[in-house]
A and B are shown apart, each in its own frame.
Chain A
Amino acid sequence: MKGWIALVAGLLFGLGLALSGMTSPDKVIGFLDVTGPWDPSLAFVMGGALLVAAPLYFYTSRRGEALCGDSLGAPPSQTIDRKLIGGAALFGLGWGLAGLCPGPALVDLLVRPLPVGVFLTAMIAGLLLSRRD
């Protein structure tokens, strides 16, 4: 059950990314290029996502457990530390360099296997080096 829900969620996630424009580095760089010919359209991706996700998250919290009966895990950590800010900053620099973040890279893998494969290999190396768990 859990696997099927995850499969459908992954499918919706990938289709949403492809439709949104997030899979194109040109589009992403255009969104980040605030001192150039700025293209704000990608701001609506986060807007649209939050509009749908926030009520579902809220309802799930009120419910207290997932439909499959699993717990919702610990509430979000509140710890603000240098790792959080430094990590977010490093991630942003990489995102602005290639115009790719993890989800869109996976969606692009089959259309551009070589460059995306190189990016994902380096990303996974960084991910595994950055922590033990």
Chain B
Amino acid sequence: MAFAPADMIQPLAGGALIGLSAGLLRLGTGQIAGISGIVRRAIRGPERGWQLAFLAGVLAAGAMAAWRSGEQLAAGLERASLPMLVAAGLLVGLGTGLGNGCTSGHGICGLARLSKRSLLAVPTFMAAAALMVFVRRWGGWL
């Protein structure tokens, strides 16, 4: 295990900001901060105004973070092959569309409101993701 107690400060602080964002959106507007759903609505409508504003905020945050930490922000992405990214993107898109949520919609908003569906979806996608990494490790392409 590669872990020191100080390593949990940034994940915890970052998580708290994400939780604040989800809570602010819920309290302020009644909406759920699920990224896959927000992206889908922003493209397909029928209502796309607040979704586009939210996505603009995320991209602006990305620009600030890129300015501060550069390529370290996306460490590991430089080794990703394009065919693998296409396959992964399709799986993520299909899966979040069918399952109606991703790490944010199910993992944070769904669990925050104790949705039965999210309580089942989160361990399912965690287990599938760990399985994929396990297969990649033993197949020698991690």
Mark contacts of B44-75 with chain A using CB atoms, 8 A cut-off: 1 yes-contact digit, 0 otherwise. Answer: 10000111011111111111111001111111
Interface SS majority for chain A: helix
Whether the Cβ atoms of A100 and B121 lie closer than 8 Å is: no
A56-B23, A86-B98, A124-B43 known; A16 and B15 CB under 8 Å?
A: yes
How many residues of B are in contact with the other chain, CB < 8 A?
A: 113
Whether the Cβ atoms of A109 and B62 lie closer than 8 Å is: yes
- Residue in B74, B78, B120 whose Cβ sees the most chain A Cβ within 10 Å: B74
Whether the Cβ atoms of B33 and A9 lie closer than 8 Å is: yes
Interface SS majority for chain B: helix
Chain A interface size, as a band, is 35 or more
Whether the Cβ atoms of B62 and A99 lie closer than 8 Å is: no
A73 to B15, CA, bound (A): 25
Of B53, B56, B97, B132, the contact of A92 (CB 8 Å cutoff)? B132
Residues of B within 8 Å of A66, CB to CB, are: 26-31
A32 to B130, CA, bound (A): 5
Residues of A within 8 Å of B88, CB to CB, are: 94-95, 97-98, 100, 119, 122
Identify which of residues 14-37 in chain B touch chain A, using a CB-to-CB cut-off of 8 Å. 14-33, 35-36
Task: Give 17 pairs: A residue, B residue, CB < 8 Å, sorted on A.
Answer: A2-B49, A14-B65, A15-B61, A16-B14, A18-B14, A33-B142, A48-B14, A49-B18, A49-B19, A50-B19, A57-B112, A84-B121, A91-B94, A97-B136, A100-B92, A103-B103, A123-B39
Instruction: Give me the interface of B with A, judged by CB distance under 8 Å.
Output: 1-3, 7-8, 10-33, 35-36, 39-40, 43-44, 49-51, 53-66, 69-78, 80, 82, 84-100, 102-104, 106-113, 115-118, 120-122, 124-134, 136-137, 142
